[in-house]
Amino acid sequence: MKKNIFQLCSPQLKEIAIALQNRIVEGLEQDGTEISCIPTYVIPKSADVNGKAVVLDLGGTNYRVATVTLENGKATIHPENGWKKNLSIMKTPGFTKEELYQELSDPIMEVKREEEMPIGYCFSYPAESLPDGDARLIRWTKGVDIEEMVGESVGRTLLDYLNERSEVKFTNIRVINDTVASLFAGLTESNYDAYIGLIVGTGTNMAAFIDAAKIPKLSGKGLEGMIPVNLESGNFYPPHLTAVDDTVDACSDSKGVHRFEKAVSGMYLGEILKTVFPFDEFEDNFDARKLTTILSYPDLHKRRYVRVARWIYKRSAKLVAASLVGLVLVLLSQNESIKQIRLVAEGSLFWSENRKGKNYKDMVMEEVHKLLADFGHYDVKVHVARMENANLVGTAIAALS
């Protein structure tokens, strides 16, 4: 491939940002739209969050369990980064709910507890938040397909499973998305006008606080104030995708959905490269980590691989930037006084490093501020933060709020 079909110019990126802005507005108005805009009925305390919780973090591949103590807004995590477990086995065809709960419960049962405490569950899959703090699974993503769980609550059934096997019971469970957990973690710094949670790792998604009065589909439900909203933005179908993206989608196990995620996230960047070179042999599970290795060590790889990998990596960063700006445009349309925005970003791809060029995060943030200036918002600044264990801290805030 000699021509860079993945290149996006500023007018195209602005078009993508506006398209996402419009989809978010549609999602705030009604259910069943491309961008779900799922309200989360767990409202975090902005101050005086104190107590101790067991926190579960189920991602695309890895699973963590930790006890988190919050005191005056400061978190103490034990162990420091949680007990980690590889749960890629859940992507095995035929894997069952009972097998998943067994895998989830094993490390929880190892936690020494002398008192009852709540559970915070960071569940990184599309789920509808329920008024009692639980969530109902909408669909699986990231290669997981445990069909019997779709449409079920993911918190209460796990809580019952654990309490049946525990002498010291758990008091309750609150389920939030990983993007909402990042959003909540951002509240540990209070001097910002708005907050965004972002994930760019195995998958991708965004979350933000939206005034209940600006969410028409919540009209009549008696909700007030700022509501956490999980966009499920990975399902965005942006303009200016390529024939290569169409092929990646057609060969996926979720054809027709999550087109943005398939163009951006770590799970799919390697698939894009492999699709460009359909007659070449690549190792299995060729993901973003292996793609960035090509960028960082170009002398060890074919020149054509390096060139195309660079194009794919850069396009992903620019698409993420455009999506962030689309969300910022929504926030500004609702509150024009917003000037300082805190972005808590999680995900191995977002924080990946390129030894021979610009790092991913730097490309994203440069493009964000360039696009904001192109839209005339020169005075709006997005401050990106990398927080250690943001998911654990934000989920603990949810459990104890």
Is it the case that residue 364 has pLDDT exceeding 90? yes
pLDDT for the residue 117: 94
Report whether 243 contacts 269 (CB < 8 A): no
Listed range (111-115, 119-123, 180-184) with the worst mean pLDDT: 111-115
Residue with tokens 């696009």: 371
Report whether 84 contacts 359 (CB < 8 A): no
pLDDT digits (tens, 9 = 90+) for 276-328: 999 998 887 888 889 999 999 999 999 999 999 999 999 999 999 999 999 99
pLDDT band at 96 (very low <50, low <70, confident <90, very high): very high
Average pLDDT over residues 145-157: 94
Average pLDDT over residues 9-14: 98
pLDDT for the residue 73: 72
What is the average pLDDT value for the chain, to the nearest integer? 93
Of residues 66, 83, 55, 346, the one with CA closest to residue 174 = 55
pLDDT digits (tens, 9 = 90+) for 340-354: 999 999 999 999 999
pLDDT band at 273 (very low <50, low <70, confident <90, very high): very high
Average pLDDT over residues 160-178: 93
Average pLDDT over residues 161-179: 93
pLDDT digits (tens, 9 = 90+) for 42-72: 999 767 788 999 999 998 778 999 999 998 7
